[in-house]
C-alpha cells in the first residue's frame, strides 16, 4: 500500500518555510506498513489543491493533505477537496456549536470567519481536533481514502496518531528504516563494495546519501511483521559491516565524535585537541556529546602562529622551515597539546581552509593531521576538495576518524 502526501501553503511553495510535516507523516506511515511514493506541495490555490487531490487519488492508495484548513481567506483545502469530490460544502451544525463552545470556554467570541471551519464537503466527515479549531476531514475520492489534516505541526501529529492511524489499521506488513554511517572513501567507492545490496528490487534495499561529510547507507526493510522487518535490517547491517569493516563509523544517531567518546570511556583515556584551520570545530563536535567531560579535557585553538609556539611549544624554527601547515607542525601541535594538558591522546590539525592562502605547493584544502597517543605519534596529509566550510568539516571528521581507527587498533586511511 502506498500513499501520496500533499502539503498546502504559499509559504511552502515560495520557500519562506521549510516543509517538515510530510517527513513526519512518511515516517509514521512506514510504521504501519505504508510507503510514501511521492510528496506534493501546492500553494493556497483552490484549483491547484483540487487537481492535486484528484491526481493523487488516481496514483496512490491513500492521500493525506496537510494545511489550508484555517479560518482565513487563503485556507482553501476544504473547497479544493469538495471540488475533487465533485460536491459542495455544507454546514455541519454540530461542529459549529463545538467551535462556538471552544471560544466561549476561553472567554472569547467566535469571529465570523471561524464559521468556515464548520463547513465540510457533502459526503465527508469532520475529524475532531483536540488541540485547535481546525477540524480534519475524512473523505473518499474515486474510492480512495483522503484525509485532510491541519498544517500546524503538533495538531497534525496529534490528529494523525489519534484519529487517522487507527483507521488505517495494519496493512500487509511493516517497513523499518535504519542508517549506517561510513567514512574514509567516496560515495561511489563505498557503493561499489555493496553494489548487489543496492539492487532496487532487493529487500531490504540499501541507498546511499552524503550528509555532513559522511556517506550514509539507508536500509529499508519490509516484512509481514515488525520482527521480520527487523531481522532484515540486522542481516543487512552485518553484511555491510563485514564488507566495509572499519569504514563503518556508526549507526543511527551515532556520530564520529560519539563513537570516539565511547572508545575513550571504555579505555579510561583522556583527549585534548590542538586546532588551527578547524578553529574549534573538533572540540565543538566532541563536546556536543553529553557526558564528554568524562574523557575530554579541553583544547587550544592555535589560530595565530604565536599561539602554536607559545602555548603548544611548537618550535619557531620548525614552523619557519616546514611552514605552519606541515605534518611536522601538526605533530608538534599534538605532542605539545598532549604534554600541556597531560592527556592520553591529542589531535593536532593545521591546514589551509581558504578561500585564500593557498599556493602551488600548498593548495587550499591541504590539511595536516597528527595524532599523539600513549605509544607515539602519527601524521597524515590530506587535500580536501570543496569550499571553506566543507574543508573544515572534512578536516574535523578526518581528525576524529584517525583517532577512532587508532583506538580500534587499525591504521588510518591516507586520503
Among 13, 23, 1, CA closest to 49: 13
Q: Cβ closer to a second copy: 99 or 248?
A: 99
Does residue 48 bind a second copy (CB under 8 A)? yes
Distance CA 336, CA 323 (A): 17
Q: Cβ closer to a second copy: 125 or 316?
A: 316
What is the grid cell recorded at 179? 542508517
Closest distance between a second copy and the C-beta of residue 309, in Å? Answer: 12
Q: Cβ closer to a second copy: 188 or 242?
A: 188
Q: Which residues of 20-52 are buried (b: 16+ CB within 10 A; e: fewer)?
A: ebbeebbebbbebbbbbeebbbbbbbbebbbeb
Contact stretch for a second copy (CB under 8 A) within 18-26, 159-167, 230-238, 248-256: 18-26
Distance CA 88, CA 354 (A): 62
Selected binder of a second copy within 93, 188, 252, 375 (CB under 8 A)? 188
Does residue 347 bind a second copy (CB under 8 A)? no
Which residues inside 233-272 make contact with a second copy, applying CB under 8 A?
none
Tell me whether strands 136-141 and 2-8 are parallel, antiparallel or unpaired.
unpaired
- Asked if omega into 356 is within 30° of 0 (cis), the reply is no
Q: Cβ closer to a second copy: 104 or 408?
A: 104
Which residues inside 285-304 make contact with a second copy, applying CB under 8 A?
286-288, 290-293, 296-304
Selected binder of a second copy within 354, 368, 400, 406 (CB under 8 A)? 354
Which residues inside 120-139 make contact with a second copy, applying CB under 8 A?
131-132
In which region does residue 180 sit, left (phi positive, over 0), alpha (psi from -120 to 50) or beta (all else)?
Answer: beta
Does residue 177 bind a second copy (CB under 8 A)? yes
Distance CA 391, CA 245 (A): 25
Selected binder of a second copy within 200, 268, 317, 375 (CB under 8 A)? 200
Contact stretch for a second copy (CB under 8 A) within 86-94, 228-236, 239-247, 348-356: 348-356
Does residue 19 bind a second copy (CB under 8 A)? yes
Tally Cβ neighbours within 10 Å of residue 270.
Answer: 18
Amino acid at each position: 500500500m502506498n500513499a501520496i502526501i500533499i502539503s498546502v501553503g504559499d509559504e511552502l511553495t515560495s520557500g519562506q518555510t521549510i516543509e517538515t510535516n510530510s517527513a513526519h507523516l512518511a515516517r509514521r506511515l512506514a510504521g504501519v506498513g505504508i510507503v510514501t511514493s511521492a510528496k506534493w506541495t501546492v500553494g493556497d490555490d483552490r484549483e491547484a489543491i483540487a487537481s492535486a487531490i484528484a491526481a493523487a487519488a488516481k496514483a496512490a492508495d491513500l492521500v493525506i493533505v496537510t494545511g489550508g484548513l484555517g479560518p482565513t481567506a487563503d485556507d482553501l483545502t476544504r473547497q479544493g477537496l469538495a471540488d475533487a469530490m465533485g460536491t459542495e460544502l455544507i454546514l455541519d451544525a454540530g461542529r459549529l456549536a463545538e467551535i462556538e463552545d471552544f471560544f466561549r470556554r476561553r472567554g472569547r467570541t467566535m469571529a465570523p470567519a471561524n464559521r468556515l471551519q464548520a463547513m465540510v464537503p457533502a459526503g465527508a466527515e469532520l475529524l475532531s481536533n483536540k488541540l485547535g479549531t481546525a477540524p480534519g476531514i475524512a473523505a473518499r475520492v474515486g474510492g480512495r481514502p483522503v484525509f485532510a489534516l491541519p498544517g500546524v505541526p503538533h495538531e497534525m501529529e496529534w490528529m494523525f496518531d489519534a484519529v487517522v492511524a487507527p483507521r488505517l489499521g495494519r496493512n500487509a506488513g511493516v517497513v523499518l528504516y535504519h542508517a549506517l554511517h561510513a567514512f574514509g572513501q567516496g560515495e561511489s567507492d563505498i557503493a561499489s563494495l555493496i553494489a548487489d545490496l543496492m539492487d532496487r528490487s532487493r529487500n531490504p534495499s540499501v541507498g546511499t546519501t552524503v550528509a555532513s561529510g559522511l556517506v550514509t547507507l539507508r536500509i529499508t526493510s519490509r516484512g509481514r511483521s515488525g520482527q521480520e522487518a527487523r531481522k532484515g535490517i540486522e542481516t543487512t547491517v552485518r553484511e555491510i559491516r563485514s564488507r566495509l569493516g572499519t569504514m563503518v563509523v556508526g549507526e543511527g544517531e551515532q556520530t564520529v565524535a560519539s563513537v570516539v567518546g565511547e572508545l575513550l570511556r571504555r579505555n579510561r583515556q583522556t583527549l585534548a585537541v590542538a586546532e588551527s584551520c578547524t578553529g574549534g570545530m573538533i572540540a565543538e563536535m566532541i563536546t556536543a556529546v553529553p557526558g564528554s567531560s568524562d574523557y575530554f579535557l579541553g583544547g587550544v585553538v592555535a589560530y595565530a602562529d604565536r599561539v602554536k609556539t607559545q602555548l603548544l611549544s611548537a618550535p619557531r624554527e620548525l614552523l619557519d622551515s616546514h611552514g605552519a601547515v606541515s605534518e611536522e607542525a601538526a605533530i608538534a601541535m599534538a605532542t605539545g597539546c598532549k604534554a600541556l594538558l597531560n592527556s592520553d591522546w591529542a589531535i593536532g590539525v593545521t591546514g589551509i581552509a581558504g578561500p585564500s592562502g593557498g599556493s602551488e605547493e600548498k593548495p587550499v584544502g591541504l590539511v595536516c593531521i597528527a595524532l599523539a597517543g600513549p605509544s607515539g605519534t602519527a601524521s597524515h596529509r590530506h587535500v580536501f576538495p570543496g569550499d571553506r566550510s566543507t574543508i573544515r568539516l572534512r578536516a574535523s571528521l578526518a581528525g576524529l576518524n584517525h583517532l577512532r581507527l587508532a583506538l580500534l587498533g587499525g591504521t588510518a586511511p591516507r586520503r
